[in-house]
Structure formats: C-alpha cells, structure tokens
C-alpha cells in the first residue's frame, strides 16, 4: 500500500510511481528550469508558477558553492542569470545570496528582479506537495551532497534523480549507490537506430520508471512500445530548442503542435520537457476535449 498522506495538500500530487506508471494515460509536462516565461529561471516563483499551471514536474539545476552549499542555478558562471560575475563554485553562499536574479532566461539586457538564487533546500520546500522535482546535478561528483539534502528534507518521494547510462555497459555503477531504490532514478541515453528495444532489455536491472531519451529516428521510439509496456517505462523527451532531437522542438511546436507534440505522443512519448509550458498545456487540454 502506498501512503497517500501527501495527497491531502493537493489532490494532484499522487504517489510518484503511480504518476509515472503507464497505467496513467496522461502526458506529463516538465517545466524546464521552472516556468521562466513568467519569472526568473530556476527561481522560487518559477517553481510556484509551474505548480499553479498544473505541470507535474519542474526540472531544476543544482551545484555547490565554494563553501559547500547547494544552490539552484544552471550556468557554471553567474553572469547570464544574476547581477554578479564569476564562477558559482568559486563563490561563497553569502556572495551568491547577495545577488539579484535577472528576469526570464536572463542575458545582459534582462531586467534585474528582487528574486535571489535559491538553495536546493528552498526549492524542494517550495515544490513539496505541489509539483515533483527533477534534479539535474550539474557536476556528478556533487550527487552525494544532493542525495543528503533530499534525505534530510524527507523528499525522497518528491524527486527523481537522473544520470547518464550506457546501456551496453557490463555494469551500472548506479546500482551500487546507497540511495538506489530509495529515490526514483531516471536513466538518460540515446536510442540506437533500430536497437532501442535491445537497449531497453539491457537496462532492465535498473527497473526505471521513466527514461530520458534522445533519438535520431522517431520510428525507433514507436518500435520499442511493446518493451516499454513490458517494463512499465514512461518515455521522456525534451522538445527544448537546444535538445537536437531532429526538428522536434518548441519553436516548431508553436507553429505546428501536431507535427511535434502530436507526433511524439503518437510514438509513445509520455512526458515532455518544454520551455513553452503554457502553450503545451493548452494543446493537451484541447486534445482531451475531443
């Protein structure tokens, strides 16, 4: 029996494994760096905005400061998204806390806001009971610090940890990690042409609830449907303009949603990470009305 105590705070937040299971026919939305169309990327209001929009997951980036605190920021440097300069990992938490975040996706002409760079702890608390969190650990050697934070907050059931996997490898180091099995894990890899189902059989020991996949032919995804169903794996694809999954990207989706989001969902994709969350949610709502 899964405990549904957390569900009382929001009827939408189910058990994460129930949400990811293929028995849930909903297409899941992942807000890349939060809802940054309305707030600075990777900020607390961007997480809040995503939850209010009804997305199931926010993707956030984390890395450690010079004094060992995890902060939520994507770039190695401070320039693009904050009022500061220099390297995140060479700056103290106090220095980073004193900076202001730039609006939206940042850049030198983006206006400064009164928002600050959050700690991972603050971000997880903001999301708790409202939206699940996909944590992108920018430097793999900092993963133990990330895991320790998740555990300290009792957030094991609210997050998914992703890492790169080589399906043909003889062994998967993540299987030996002390957190494996206690915190949901999402393998990431590229589907080999005409061999995606083989790759999936090779990773069966990982018991993955969801995998993030890159592809060179959308037909490869559809061809593996039976194997995905057998292992109950949900397929996550990025349609970010920078993901390079052919031309299945947000810019084209805004002009031709059926040609991008429609084609992906028809090929069996069950989770899409996007920078255009409002439009994607509108498209999903229109679909379910039919």
| Three-point CA angle 117, 120, 121, nearest 5° | 115
182 domain residue, yes or no: yes
* Residues 100, 82: Cα–Cα separation, whole Å: 5
Could you tell me the CATH number of the domain that includes residue 238? Answer: 3.20.20.190
Q: Which residue has the higher pLDDT, 99 or 245?
A: 99
Dihedral sign (CA 247, 251, 253, 256): negative
CB 158 within 8 A of CB 134: no
18 domain residue, yes or no: yes
Give the residue numbers annotated as catalytic, written as ranges: 32, 74
142 domain residue, yes or no: yes
| Three-point CA angle 32, 36, 37, nearest 5° | 120
3-class SS shares of the chain: helix, strand, coil, % to 5:
35, 20, 45
Per-residue model confidence (pLDDT) at position 290:
64
Per-residue model confidence (pLDDT) at position 10:
44
* pTM of the predicted structure, to 2 decimals: 0.93
Q: Count of domains in the chain?
A: 1
Model confidence pLDDT, tens digit, residues 114-164: 999 999 999 999 999 999 999 999 999 999 999 999 999 999 999 999 999
- pLDDT, the chain, mean: 94
Q: Which residue has the higher pLDDT, 287 or 166?
A: 166
Q: Is residue 8 very low, low, confident or very high in pLDDT (cuts 50, 70, 90)?
A: very low
Domain range enclosing 156: 5-62+121-289
216 domain residue, yes or no: yes
Per-residue model confidence (pLDDT) at position 61:
98
157 domain residue, yes or no: yes
269 domain residue, yes or no: yes
136 domain residue, yes or no: yes
CB atoms within 10 A of CB 38: 17
Model confidence pLDDT, tens digit, residues 243-279: 888 999 999 999 999 999 999 999 999 999 999 999 9
Q: In sequence order, what E strands does 99-220 have? A: 132-137, 159-164, 185-190, 210-214
Whether the per-residue pLDDT at 59 is higher than 80: the answer is yes
90 domain residue, yes or no: no
The number of CA neighbours under 13 Å toward the Cβ of 26 is 14
| Both structure tokens of 50 | 């995503």
Q: H helices within 131-244, ranges in order?
A: 143-152, 196-202, 218-223, 225-231
* Residues 21, 175: Cα–Cα separation, whole Å: 21
């Amino acid at each position: 029996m899964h405990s549904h105590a957390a569900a009382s705070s929001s009827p939408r937040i189910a058990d994460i494994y129930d949400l990811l299971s293929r028995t849930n026919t909903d297409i899941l939305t992942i807000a890349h760096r939060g809802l940054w169309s309305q707030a600075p990327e990777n900020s607390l209001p961007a997480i809040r905005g995503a939850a209010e929009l009804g997305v199931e997951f926010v993707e956030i980036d984390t890395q450690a400061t010079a004094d060992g605190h995890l902060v939520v920021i994507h770039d190695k440097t401070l320039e693009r998204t904050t009022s500061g300069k220099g390297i995140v990992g060479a700056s103290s938490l106090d220095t980073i806390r004193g900076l202001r975040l730039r609006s939206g996706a940042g850049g030198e002409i983006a206006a400064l806001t009164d928002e600050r760079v959050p700690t991972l702890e603050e971000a997880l608390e903001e999301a708790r009971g409202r939206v699940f969190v996909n944590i992108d650990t920018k430097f793999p050697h900092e993963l133990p610090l990330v895991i320790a934070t998740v555990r300290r907050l009792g957030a094991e059931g609210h997050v998914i940890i992703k890492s790169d996997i080589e399906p043909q490898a003889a062994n998967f180091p993540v299987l030996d990690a002390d957190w494996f099995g206690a915190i949901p894990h999402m393998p990431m890899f590229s589907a080999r042409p005409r061999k995606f189902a083989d790759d999936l059989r090779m990773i069966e020991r990982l018991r993955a609830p969801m995998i993030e996949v890159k592809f060179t032919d959308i037909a490869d995804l559809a061809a593996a449907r039976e194997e995905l169903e057998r292992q109950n794996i949900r397929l996550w694809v990025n349609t970010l303009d920078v993901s390079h999954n052919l031309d299945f990207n947000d810019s084209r989706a805004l002009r031709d949603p059926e040609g991008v989001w429609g084609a992906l969902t028809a090929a069996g994709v069950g989770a899409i990470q996007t920078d255009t969350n409002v439009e994607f949610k509108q498209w999903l709502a229109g679909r379910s009305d039919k």
